[in-house]
Amino acid sequence: MSERSEVHTTFVIERTFRVPPHRVFAAWSQQEARRAWASCHIDLYDVDYGLDFRVGGSEHNRARERGRDVFIYEARFLDIVEDHRIVYAYEMRLGQKRVSVSLATVGFVAAGEGTRMTFTEQVVFLDGHTDGLDQRRIGTEEGFDRLEALLDGETAPRH
């Protein structure tokens, strides 16, 4: 039997964008926009992406190589307040092994003509996968870099 463990942590990322809250919220809630900035590794893997943006709806991002799952992200939306808040829970798997489960809250507040977005993630890393925190935060920051580029009308950088 493999060793079981749970390591809990929380991190917060704040970003200010030059566009109003409804534009930032739309980039989270519309499938093509969300995929453009949230899907990673599309240059390395065949990525299957889907978004059903509503309370009780889901999002998935599956990276596959040679017909096998490399990593899988599956989320469920728990609370949505248009232009103000999104709360969702998600799990990450490497192949079929669950490595973490998270609760994420995204808040949008007008900041002058722009938006201050606050992203808070409460995560539990499972069964020895504790080295993922730095990578999780870095990956999230890279996604937000692509979001900023998308909102500024630029080509989103790929990491």
List average pLDDT for each run of 10 residues in the chain, which is 159 residues long. 81 97 97 88 71 97 77 95 98 90 98 97 86 82 94 65
Torsion of CA 75, 107, 113, 141, to 10 degrees: -60
The pLDDT score that the predictor gives to residue 85 is: 98
Domain positions in the chain = 6-151
User: How much helix, strand and coil, in percent to the nearest 5, is found in the chain?
Assistant: 25, 50, 30
Burial class (CB in 10 A: 0-12, 13-18, 19+), 155: exposed
The whole-angstrom separation of Cα 114 and Cα 16 is 7
pTM: 0.89
Q: Which amino acid is residue 44, in one-letter code?
A: L
Say if domain 6-151 classifies as CATH 3.30.530.20. yes
What CA–CA distances, in Å, run from 52 to 14, 55, 60, 84, 157?
A: 25, 9, 9, 18, 25
Identify the sign of the CA torsion 78, 143, 148, 11: positive
Whose tokens are 């453009």? That residue is 36
pLDDT, residue 64, reads 77
